[in-house]
Amino acid sequence: MAVANPRPALLVTGGAGYIGSHVCKAVAEAGFLPVAYDNLSAGHHWAVRWGPLECGDLVDAGRLDEVMRQYRPTAVIHLAGLIISSESVVDPGQYYTNNVAGTFCLLDAMRRNAVDRIVFSSSAAVYGEPETMPMGESHPQRPLNPYGTSKQMVERVLQDYARAYGLHSVSLRYFNAAGADPEGEIGEAHHIETHLIPLVLDVAAGYRSHVAIYGADYPTRDGTCVRDYVHVCDLAAAHVAALRYLDKSVGAHVFNLGSGNGATVREVIDLARRITGEIIPVRVETRRPGDPAVLLADPTRARQLLGWNPLHSGLDAMISTAWSWHQRVLSRAQAAQ
């Protein structure tokens, strides 16, 4: 039997994860009931604070049907999936099973339960080696690893489902998510951490001995890679904007989410040193295969069509909120798992 909710429900797959929990907070503040659907393989029970947690796998059709019948979501925000590019090269089957086959199961459950709108967590990894800079949504797509290919495949599936079944979608191509909730309620806590800023802050906090710089001979202003960072709260706000966009738009749509500005690895480390007051030792390693020198988003389309206006665009805000999370919350949250 469907649950009578005073607020319209949204099914948020991966809602117990880093970005997913911030999205749940944003949509709750926008008047929705976020129903986090998560198998907790990478997410955390403590991160689900603005709606119910329903445990389940994407490939479990019966469980998806049960949850959708119970809450009758008006739309789905799909963030569940595996995200480590290097791991996808070693075990591509796992990535295609989780990220592609799992999405098929989700989309078919949506069709069975008459849910016709989805916001999909895509990635700048669909582009591969940049040909022009900054990269707009029409940039050629040549992913460098199975992770990026899995995101590209889902985007194509969504285009086909829009034409054939009237399932309307927005795919949001994230660049580098960073930062944490300014109120300190949630933040980044991956079981296996691969993102630069939390790795740097782990060193500042004494959890690691040093941070690795993979390549210091790139053709950039200080020899290290340049990346486009976007605050996780701004990413979350973009999902709310995407839902509003689907209220009046049909078909399948894609948008970049980035700042349009870049910081080098050394600049990130230097700023973290100033914010934390810690030395943060570094060790220069050889380049990693497939790491482009520069990756920058052109976010013009999201700003114009979604009305997306990032409020936390400065790198200092991203590092400061992430550091506050490390200092005030992370140790207690990990102890409570």
Exactly one of 96, 147, 161, 174 is catalytic; name it. 147
Topology given in CATH for the domain delimited by 9-178+230-258:
Rossmann fold (3.40.50)
Decide: residue 235, CB within 10 A, 0-12 exposed, 13-18 middle, 19+ buried: buried
Q: Return the pLDDT at 330.
A: 56
208 contacts 279 by C-beta, under 8 angstroms: no
What's residue 119's pLDDT?
A: 98
Which pLDDT score is estimated for 332?
56
Determine whether 229 is an active site residue.
no
Q: For the chain, what are the domain ranges? A: 9-178+230-258
pTM of the model: 0.94
Q: What is the pLDDT along the chain (337 residues), one digit of tens a residue?
A: 444 568 899 999 999 999 999 999 999 999 999 999 999 998 999 999 999 999 999 999 999 999 999 999 999 999 999 988 889 999 999 999 999 999 999 999 999 999 999 999 999 999 999 999 999 999 999 998 999 999 999 999 999 999 999 999 999 999 999 999 999 899 988 777 889 999 999 999 988 999 999 999 999 999 999 999 999 999 999 999 999 999 999 999 999 999 999 999 999 999 999 999 999 999 999 998 878 899 999 999 999 999 999 988 789 999 999 999 988 765 554 555 4
What does the alpha-carbon distance between residue 239 and residue 147 come to, in Å, rounded to a whole number?
Answer: 21
241-274: b (≥16 Cβ within 10 Å) or e = bbbebbeeeeebbbbbbbbbbbbbbbbbbebbee
CA contacts within 13 A on the Cβ side of 269: 21
The string of DSSP letters for 259-321 reads -S--EEHHHHHHHHHHHH-----EEEEPPPTT--SB--B--HHIIIII----S--SHHHHHHH
pLDDT of amino acid 84: 85
Instruction: For residue 200, give every residue at least 6 positions away whose Cβ sits within 8 Å of its Cβ, in sequence order, or none.
Output: 211, 268, 269, 272, 280
Question: Which structure tokens are listed for 266?
Answer: 């050394």
3-state secondary structure of 40: coil
